[in-house]
Structure 1
Amino acid sequence: MKRNLLVVALVVFMPEISMAYTACTGGVTFDLEACAKINFEESDKYLNSNYKSLFATLSEGDRDVLVKAQRKWVSYKESTCQGAYDATFPGEEAGIDKWSCLDQITRARKRELEYLKSGIGGDEFFRAADIVSKFYEHGKRENFISKLVKEFSKDSDSKWREYVSNNCALAISRVHDQKDQCVARQEFYKY
C-alpha cells in the first residue's frame, strides 16, 4: 500500500520536481529579461506536455471543449501580456514585464490542466479561499466565492469569459466541479 502511494505521489509531482525555475536576480535589464524569457519557455514546454497528456484521455466531445478553451486562453494570455508590455513601454523593464506575465499565466494554466486530468490540486484554491475568507468574510468561504463569481460576471473581456465558460464546462464534466467554484477559481488565479 505504501509503495502504491509513493508511486502515485511521484507520478503526480514529478513534473513539478523536474521544472527548474530560475530566480531572476541581478541588476542588468537585458539579463533579467533573458531569464524571464527562459522561465516562460520552460513553463510553456510543460504546459504543452500537460495539454497533450490531457487531450489523449478525453472523449471527442471533451476534446472539442478543451480546444475551444485553450484557444480562448491563448488569446487572453497574449492580449493580457501585450498589455503588460504596453503599460511600461518604452521603459527598459517592458520586456521583463511581458515575459513574467506570460510565465505566470502559463503556470496557472498548467496547474489547471493538471487538475482537469487528475482531479488533484483543487484544494490549493480552497486553502487560499479559506485564508482570505478568514480575514475578510468572517470565515465564510461561500461569501468569498460569491464575490469572485460576481466579479467575473462584470468582466467584459470576451476572450476571458469564453475561456472560463469552456474550461468550467470541462471541469464539471471531468472532475465534477461545481460551476461557481470553478468560475471563482479562474477569477482568483487571473493575472
Structure 2
Amino acid sequence: MKTMLTLSIALGLAVTAASSASAQSQATMNANAAQELQRADRALNSQYTATMGRLSPASRTLLRTAQRTWISFRDQQCRFEASGVQGGSAYPMVHSTCLARLTTDRTRQLRTLSQCQEGDLSCPR
C-alpha cells in the first residue's frame, strides 16, 4: 500500500512538472518568436532606409505607398494564418513567426531592388 501511495505521489508530481514545463516552454517559444520578429523588423527598417536612399523622389513616394500597403497585407495575412489558434497560448508564437517570415521575405525583395544593375528595366531609380 505504501509503495502504491509513493508511486501515485511520484506520478502526480511528474504530471504537474510536465504541465508546468509545457506552459513555460510555450511562453519561451512565444518570447523567442517575438525576439525573432524584432530582429526581422530591424533588418527590414535598415534595408528600407538603404533602398529609399537610392531612389529618386518620385520613386520614393511610390515605394513608401507600396510599403504601407505591404505592411497592411502582412498584418492581415498573419492574422489569417494564426486564426486557427486564436485565443490559444500558441497564438503569439504562430502570429509572430508569420510576421517574421513575411518581413524577412520583404527585406530580401528590397535588397534585390537596391542592388539591381544599371540598364535593368525592371529596376526603379
**Quick one: which of 74, 78, 88 aligns to 1:77?**
74
The reply to whether residue 106 of structure 1 matches residue 56 of structure 2 is no
1:51 alignment partner in structure 2? 48
AA aligned opposite 1:57? R
RMSD: 2.0
Return the index of the structure with the highest Cα Rg. Answer: 2
AA aligned opposite 2:46? S
Q: Does the Cα contact within 8 Å between 2:30 and 2:92 map onto a contact in 1? A: yes
**Quick one: which of 25, 32, 35 aligns to 2:32?**
35
| Secondary structure, aligned partner of 1:172 | coil
1:138 alignment partner in structure 2? none
After TM superposition, the runs of 4+ consecutive aligned structure 1 residues lying more than 3 A away are: none
Q: Unpaired segments of 5 or more residues in structure 2? A: 1-20
Identity of aligned residues (%): 25
AA aligned opposite 1:172? S
| Secondary structure, aligned partner of 1:92 | coil
Distance 2:110 2:87 in 1: 35
| Secondary structure, aligned partner of 1:174 | coil
AA aligned opposite 1:37? A
Quote the offset at 1:38 in angstroms.
0.2
Q: Does the Cα contact within 8 Å between 2:44 and 2:106 map onto a contact in 1? A: yes
Quote the offset at 1:87 in angstroms.
2.1
**Matched pairs, number:** 100
Normalising by the residue count of structure 2, what TM-score does the alignment of the two structures yield?
0.73
2:57 alignment partner in structure 1? 60
Quote the offset at 1:86 in angstroms.
2.3
AA aligned opposite 2:68? R
Distance 2:109 2:65 in 1: 15
Q: How does 1:153-172 map to 2 (within 5 A)?
A: 172=122
1:126 alignment partner in structure 2? none
Q: Does the Cα contact within 8 Å between 1:84 and 1:94 map onto a contact in 2? A: no
Normalising by the residue count of structure 1, what TM-score does the alignment of the two structures yield?
0.49
Point out which structure has higher relative CO (alpha carbons under 8 A, 6+ apart). 2
Distance 1:74 1:31 in 2: 26
Q: Unpaired segments of 5 or more residues in structure 1? A: 1-25, 121-170, 176-191
1:185 alignment partner in structure 2? none
Distance 2:89 2:81 in 1: 13
